[in-house]
Structure 1
Amino acid sequence: MNLDTRIKFRHLLCFLEIARHGSFAKAADAVSISQPAISKTVKELEGLLETRLFERGKQGVELTPAGVRFMRYAGPCVQALRDGVRTLRLEEHQAPQVRVGVLSTVESQLMPQVLGLLHARHEALVISVATGPSAYLLSQLHVGDLDVVVGRMTDSPQIQGLLFEHLYSEAMTLAVRPGHPLLASQPTERALINHYPLVLPLAGTTIRKHADSLFVQCGIELPGQRLETLSPTLSRRYVQTSDAIWVAPRDAVRLEVAQGELCELDLGVNEPGGSVGICSNAALPLPLPAQWLCDVVREVALSYRR
């Protein structure tokens, strides 16, 4: 029997939902079936493929190497079918749409510039923006729910099997409110850093790894009083109204520093920073609206690189 005829849409859909949520229970809720039913469906698919697609671990359900390879094709396949159905159901004059994942590293400065130029050049364009940790956004890109992801993500294991285009390197910096006690002496006395609350990216994220690397390089021990968040808005407001220190990508505070609303601490080192770029799914051609977005991202990023 031809293997292709035995693999059904429900097999692929259940597989992708489990990969997306990392949980059989959450995936079952997403497709509105029972957990035993979704487990049976995945077992059928593994039998047809003659390989294990998932392993249960301490953090939930994880893809096996075979599962990762299969997802590179299953995700675009299901998304292509959805797109085909959507084109038949949408009205003739439906506005084009691009779905982009935006990491916190570019949420405050680069992307607002990009979105402004895009809407200035295209009268009818719907831009759907998803935010969150790189692991989450890249998983959405893998299964075809996003067209591209923009930001700093090269250290994320989920980037395997995807295409990454480097745009520019972005260093980390320490930002404080004007009048902060540590501004009294420059370069900043590093031993005093851990006397104040720190605002850091969430543990385990790509940007947090760069923040930790900066502190190791400077020989600074993390204080016990920390706020961990990926929200630039919350971080900015908290630092502006307290003596907290924000460990942030320079892009996130560039505008506030230029306007005198925040100040940078001088640690006396030049941290090379991470690679900011565009990530796309190699197995799925970019729709035309996504190509428009990528062109504008490259244009704006050129000024950052300079």
Structure 2
Amino acid sequence: MNPDNRIKLRHLNCFLEVARQGSIQRAADALAISQPAVSKTLRELEDSLDSKLFERGRQGVTLTDAGNAFLHVAGPSMQALRRGIQSLRTDEYKAGELRLGALSSVETQLVPKMIHLLHSRHLGLRISVLGGPAAYLLGLLRSAELDLVVGRLSDSPHLAGLHFEHLYGDALKVVVHTQHPLLGCPPELLPGRLSDYPMVLPLPDTTIRQHADSLLLQSGAGLPATCLETLSNTLARSYTLCAHAVWIAPRDAIHGDLEQGNLKSLELDGHTLGGSVGVCSNPATSQSLPAQWCLDALRELTGNSTPT
């Protein structure tokens, strides 16, 4: 007989309880069985594994090297089994699917945190995330191909017929890498010097690009001849770090790099100009349970306990 077939759940439960308690007697009390029954179960498990799992002493028991190795297998296996049983009992495995549109303004911080929170609470939930310009994503929301769209949307001309819920106010940042020459530039000269360097901007005809253009106009800065226009935060970040580029970025995209000291912010007039980050839904379609979970998670993460 395969020795694996002789290992039962009661063997694993008993082993884990003894390892946790460090005592056969305390494990027996916790399992509500007799001490001889615990000892017998452990002997059966050790015989099946052909390994000694515990050293017995007057003060209790301690794991052997083999016992520690088995603990790293048995513990996670039992946890996974319990989670699976719980998901069946609560129909969690039927959680369904969330189809989310996410603008680049929220893809670095807010959306990953929201997904992590949802998956920690709803084991069977499948989440698909699509990026792109607001006009494209809102069009898919209107045709019921997406459940929700998250991002800087308040000024979009494509919101007609859709419901927008404000989550927090956002601000554009002007950032460069830590060795950029502009970091030593006097504030009064900074606007005139920006055009000396390549600039990273959002794509034309997007809401966030309108804010970026307004920022440059208000500060008196000109548009440089060399530009990278993209909605990819990954590309924009990599280019900014490897070149003397100036990146006009949403706060979400550069928050981590500013905290870690990878990027530095330039103080430019109009620096706090921004928009409203929120979540957009389609009132013409019935809201799925996963979409409601998503809304609740977004409100929780941004401190909005009730819809606005």
Scaled by the length of structure 1, the TM-score of the pair is 0.67
1:158 paired residue number: 158
2:251 paired residue number: 250
Please state how far the C-alpha of 1:95 moved relative to its aligned partner. Answer: 4.7
Please state how far the C-alpha of 1:179 moved relative to its aligned partner. Answer: 1.0
Structure 1 contact 170–249 (Cα < 8 Å) conserved = yes
Distance 1:216 1:96, change over 3 A: same
- Written as runs of structure 1 = structure 2, the 5 A alignment for 1:254-265 is 254-265=255-266
Tell me the matched-pair count: 212
1:137 paired residue number: 137
Structure 1 contact 186–265 (Cα < 8 Å) conserved = no
1:239 paired residue number: 240
Specify the structure having the higher radius of gyration (Cα): 2
Structure 2 contact 176–241 (Cα < 8 Å) conserved = yes
Cα distance in 1 for partners of 2:168, 2:186 equals: 28
Structure 2 residue identity aligned to 1:106: V
Distance 1:285 1:192, change over 3 A: same
1:167 paired residue number: 167
Cα distance in 1 for partners of 2:271, 2:261 equals: 22
- Written as runs of structure 1 = structure 2, the 5 A alignment for 1:77-226 is 94-185=94-185, 187=187, 189-226=190-227
Please state how far the C-alpha of 1:268 moved relative to its aligned partner. Answer: 4.0
Note the aligned Cα RMSD (angstroms): 1.6
Structure 2 residue identity aligned to 1:163: H
Cα distance in 2 for partners of 1:234, 1:180 equals: 18
Structure 2 residue identity aligned to 1:224: A
Please state how far the C-alpha of 1:190 moved relative to its aligned partner. Answer: 1.3
Scaled by the length of structure 2, the TM-score of the pair is 0.66
Residue by residue, what CA displacement relative to the aligned partner does 1:53-102 show, whole Å, maximum 9, x if unpaired? xxxxxxxxxxxxxxxxxxxxxxxxxxxxxxxxxxxxxxx96551010100
Cα distance in 2 for partners of 1:115, 1:146 equals: 16
Unmatched tracts of structure 2, length 5 or more: 1-91
Cα distance in 2 for partners of 1:151, 1:220 equals: 27
Please state how far the C-alpha of 1:153 moved relative to its aligned partner. Answer: 1.5
Cα distance in 1 for partners of 2:229, 2:210 equals: 13
2:284 counterpart SS class: coil
Unmatched tracts of structure 1, length 5 or more: 1-91
- Written as runs of structure 1 = structure 2, the 5 A alignment for 1:24-43 is none
1:275 paired residue number: 276
1:140 counterpart SS class: helix
Structure 2 contact 172–271 (Cα < 8 Å) conserved = no
Cα distance in 1 for partners of 2:163, 2:226 equals: 38
Structure 2 contact 191–222 (Cα < 8 Å) conserved = no
Cα distance in 2 for partners of 1:261, 1:250 equals: 14
Distance 1:142 1:181, change over 3 A: same
Cα distance in 2 for partners of 1:103, 1:195 equals: 29
Cα distance in 2 for partners of 1:228, 1:152 equals: 18
